[in-house]
Amino acid sequence: MQTTMLKAKLHRATVTRSELGYEGSCAIDGDFLDLSGIREYEQIQIYNVNNGERFTTYAIRAEAGSGVISVNGAAARLACAGDVVIICAYAVYDQNELTNYKPALIYFNEKNEVVRTASSIPVQAHSA
């Protein structure tokens, strides 16, 4: 049996620009791609925290160290500069691979600076 699991997450990155006329994709700072293990041309899901839009595109490499998160092509209608997004990549694993499975979780501040990395999400506490 195979299971689709979260491979990598860029949590609360800020869109730096959206370019309707650019060939479709999402340009991501090359350092963020390398840190997360997301490959250029890999399918990604983008979840826009500001407006609730959820869409699929693919990653392309932006200049390393630039902090760029650019939503391009038709997807530019779904995210604007300044929007906060969560970018996820998923992969299919077999049961043996799941033994040591850990996703790459990258957390950002409002300046698209990496503030921490992790490989697990804390258990959500019950609220009264």
Catalytic site residue from 22, 58, 90, 93 = 58
CA distance 87 to 48: 9
Among residues 29, 80, 84, 89, the alpha carbon closest in space to that of 58 is found at 89
3-state secondary structure of 73: helix
Integer angstrom CA distances of residue 44 from 1, 6, 57, 128:
23, 11, 6, 35
Q: C-alpha angle 113/119/122, rounded to 5°?
A: 95
Q: Please tell me which residue in 18, 25, 36, 70 is annotated as part of the active site.
A: 25
Supply 62's token pair: 């932006």
Whether residue 25 lies in the annotated active site: yes
Which is nearest to 11 in space by CA: 32, 34, 40? 32
Catalytic residues: 25, 58
